[in-house]
Chain A
């Protein structure tokens, strides 16, 4: 890892800019520092954050709160994949 990347990581960590995920069972995920919803329907959601991109497969996926940089997704998740 280059020195530049290392410095970026330290800054992100100290300023809490990293992607923070809190998962409750396979029914709820609270996501911080979300950047964009790339794709969304009731079985699939693809999200881009400042550091990663990931997708969730499941059933009855619902975004209950989308404001600022936070996001809460509810539903029945079958898989979470990091791209």
Chain B
């Protein structure tokens, strides 16, 4: 079975981001959600609530926007492409670390999925306005760290970090 992995660090944030990823300290606050397979009615709830929590902390608007987009895209991915899964948002006083774990079926080739326009979405998902193949590239654009691990036939793990400054 082939496992594939993808790492991205935003250049300007690389030193502190790497330090964070190595230590992964205990979060100051956390939120968790479970996502049902193709549960489009509730999709967006996790990203809205995570965004609201950061609003309550007084996190800057431009950062909020990036968190909203990245987390929402990843949430949609779990809803549309997997057998469901869960989301954990670890909140710190300088950054937010969001982890997505699904129950499969896994991705064949992550690097191919990172290319804008590539999509495995079926007709139903496209009709709902999703599956344009911009999800992962959009997450990367908004995140300071993006790490994905996947195995075809198994599951996908995605984590992202966004710093407040």
Q: Do A and B come from one complex?
A: no
User: B-side interface residues toward A, CB under 8 Å?
Assistant: none
User: A-side interface residues toward B, CB under 8 Å?
Assistant: none
